[in-house]
Amino acid sequence: MIMPLLKGLGITLSHLFKKPVTLQYPDEMPEVAPRFRGLHALNISHDKAKCVACYLCPTVCPAKCIKVEAGEDENHNKYAAEYEIDMLRCIFCGYCVEACPVDAVRMTQTFELANYKRADFVFTKDRLLEKK
């Protein structure tokens, strides 16, 4: 009756000499996979956001959390005058990235999104452009 318990104790004891697996977050940061779907970022080309305001991403977004407003620049090109993602509604599915026909939006490895005010979760175009 006592033998199986001792055997179990042996197993736990053997773990005493193994390297601990616990990650000491936030002192140690986890290694995040390249494909990780974290905070969005808008891609830049020729010093401008690549987005052409085609409205595909707000259309496919299952959470309907992207707001795009099209504008016309001095060369009569369409661009996104406004681009906003509400991170409180976003479900991080990556459909916007999959749908973008000009590779203008990507998802980064940033996963620490906690904030103090609701308004801080609305990521405007400027905030999304900040990430290089």
Q: Give the interface with other proteins as residue ranges (CB under 8 A).
A: 1, 3-5, 7-8, 11-12, 15, 21, 32-37, 54, 56, 59-60, 62, 91-95, 98-99, 101-103, 107
Interface with ligand SF4 (CB under 6 A), residue from 81, 102, 111, 124: 102
CA distance 10 to 4: 10
Interatomic CA distance for residues 42 and 108, integer angstroms:
10
CA dist list (Å): 39 to 82, 84, 131: 18, 12, 10
CB of 2 to ligand SF4, least distance (A): 55
Rounded to whole angstroms, how far apart are CA atoms 3 and 45? 69
Q: Which is nearer to ligand SF4, 5 or 33 (CB)?
A: 33
> What track of x and - describes contact with ligand SF4 for positions 13 through 32 (by CB under 6 A)?
--------------------
60, 64, 68, 69 alpha-carbon torsion, rounded to 10°: 120
Residues that bind ligand SF4 (CB under 6 A): 51-57, 61-63, 65-66, 68, 80, 85, 90-96, 99-100, 102, 104-105
